[in-house]
Chain A
């Protein structure tokens, strides 16, 4: 038991042949770290499942409306957007088209997923402090399971749209593949942001306020209530900086308008309302951000127990 160098050397010789022991790799490269995270996500998939199941159960336990909330939340966003759209339409002396509402609905589901996951995910580490300081497991599981929980929740709203659209005669099946890609990118982008926000929230409580601002007002900086062509070419360029723009507008154009996202689209004001570059940009931000935030989170999470 007393530490001796010979036994020590023998240990390392042995550990090379067998599975690697849980050592400390202070000099681990970014790639090793990403591989570690990937391995952990697979090794701990059971815990990811259990944490998600826990969060879903808690969400609907002791609530009168239960699962209905999953539909009600985006519905309220749609109503708010419909009021704004009605105001614009009445000024222009026309009515609000069903297509417009359908576009609004699809973007509302995406938006409520994003802010729901952001709010829930940012608090995921601090809300589980007792666990973080007492039991080891890959800490990524907490924010990731928060995003997965919100995804399950939002898929109920999405399923409602899936039933309603064919009934109303809206929607183009041709956009389904694009929509799938957009969903993957949206989840990746959300996980990236949530990983960063949740770990920053451990160290700085300012993050909570930032998230609150995004939740309340972020919708005005994203094309949810309005479509891109409402602002002219300059406005489009500004909006295009928001990676959510490409994803939300892309989903609307692919499903509601039936536009092929591989080709650009010029709006009535002459602005480029769609360019494949928007999607490429959103995709690079999402995937690049995911890689970066995974590394940052891994590095920071080693010290969570020391700081909280």
Chain B
């Protein structure tokens, strides 16, 4: 294998076409298309035929060494398709894809395992599939087995392994590849909590190894921790491009993540304003909402809810409802609400979300605007919530006190 120490990944106007349903179910269609493929003539700009769709539309990006690109977006956005193009499993329909260097793919890390072969035999097989040479595997064999934690079973056929053991062994092989480029897809969910932490640290070390990295994950925290850049994809298009925080925010706050509720509710939330956009942890944030009630609907059964979501993990940390404060909205006309939130959270970006909730119908009756705030270091603590701990010491036997 030729090593490239200046590996890079580049997509230039890449399009990828897929088909719905069965492919080539009629021999009549298959023969001319097969013949065309043989001759090697593919008309560029070929339109979509019946049942075809674009899985990727005009995707361009470039990842160089020291950069880690996170791909985020809802299911069907095209993240996996990009990875399949990156790893050369698929070819783009149009556009140019340049991948320079040996790719280490932390995707389907146990795909090459054969159940009847032992762990040892599979390490060599999977290593070869990933492009490692025999000497290289032999040199790192002990390290791989040690990392996976299956040393005792290394000469047992992998069909007797648990799925977690298989995944751990697969991950270990892939993680010891010394690639020029790294592609990571959801493998951070391998094994138990202890192994996941170890795997995450390993990926982090690889990312910091100054090679180009592409990460796909629904764990948004992984993206914000590992990546230097991000792309937000939706239905095959890039809809945001920038820092991981900005893209995660756009994802969480955007139409793709929160479908607009039908506007038939009695109460609508027209504007949101916060007392600050940057504040310290522990400070109070006041959220001001401008709302309106429609005269012809029943406002009394609706409440307004305000939530705080972590941009790093996408997790909803807190939510409160106006009925808890005993608020009674007017039956018609505009009104304002102010909610004070004590931001006892770690530093990071948080999304303040709003919506109106119909208690009778038990549904979201209006999706309101959202806003992001940046919490800086204030009171320092470990964990995700500041519990304002207080402590007292009582010593039963004062003789043991050293003064």
Contact = CB atoms under 8 A, between A and B. Distances in A.
B157 to A, nearest CB: 8
Nearest to B64: A1
Contact of B30 (A47, A51, A203): A203
A76 B4 CA distance: 54
A31 interface: no
Contacts of A306: 18, 23, 90
B260 interface: no
A139 to B, nearest CB: 10
Most chain A CB neighbours (cut-off 10 Å) among B24, B34, B92: B34
A211 to B, nearest CB: 18
A22 B116 contact: no
Given A2-B241, A8-B12, A303 B91 contact: yes
Contact-size category for B: 35 or more
A46 B133 contact: yes
Contacts of A296: 38
Interface stretch (A55-63, A88-96, A156-164, A276-284): A55-63
B48 interface: no
A43 interface: yes
B225 interface: no
Interface in B62-77: 62-64, 67, 69
A135 B89 contact: yes
Given A54-B117, A135-B130, A302-B91, A22 B98 contact: yes
Contacts of A204: 24, 30
Contacts of A299: 37-38, 40
Given A8-B10, A305-B84, A22 B100 contact: yes
Interface in A16-65: 18-19, 21-24, 26-28, 43-44, 46-47, 49-51, 53-54, 57-58, 61-62
Contacts of B34: 203
A296 B60 CA distance: 31
A84 interface: no
B129 interface: yes
B361 interface: no
Interface stretch (B120-128, B293-301, B334-342): B120-128
A184 interface: no
Contacts of B62: 1-3, 7-8
B82 interface: no
Most chain B CB neighbours (cut-off 10 Å) among A43, A131, A203: A131
A1 B10 CA distance: 9
B24 A24 contact: no
B229 interface: yes
A131 B129 contact: yes
B4 A19 contact: yes
Contact-size category for A: 35 or more
Interface string B73-96: 000000000001001111110001
Contacts of A62: 116
Contacts of B88: 22, 136
B105 interface: yes
A47 B130 CA distance: 9
Contacts of B63: 1
B117 A46 contact: no
Nearest to A303: B91
B327 to A, nearest CB: 46
B355 interface: no
B2 interface: yes
B111 A130 contact: yes
B190 to A, nearest CB: 15
Contact of B37 (A51, A300, A305): A300
A54 to B, nearest CB: 5
A19 B2 contact: yes
A134 interface: yes
Interface in B39-76: 40, 42, 60-64, 67, 69
Most chain A CB neighbours (cut-off 10 Å) among B11, B18, B67, B112: B112
Contacts of B61: 1-3
Contacts of B112: 131, 135
Most chain B CB neighbours (cut-off 10 Å) among A22, A27, A43, A62: A22
Given A24-B97, A54-B114, A57-B116, 13 more contacts: A1-B67, A1-B69, A3-B11, A11-B10, A22-B98, A23-B96, A23-B97, A24-B91, A24-B92, A53-B125, A54-B117, A58-B117, A136-B103
17 contacts: A2-B62, A22-B99, A23-B98, A47-B128, A47-B131, A50-B128, A51-B128, A57-B116, A57-B121, A58-B116, A130-B111, A131-B112, A131-B129, A203-B34, A204-B24, A204-B30, A299-B37
What 7 pairs across the A-B complex have the smallest Cβ distances?
A3-B60, A50-B128, A21-B100, A136-B88, A134-B111, A134-B108, A47-B128
Interface of A: 1-3, 7-8, 11, 15, 18-19, 21-24, 26-28, 43-44, 46-47, 49-51, 53-54, 57-58, 61-62, 130-137, 203-204, 296, 299-300, 302-303, 305-307
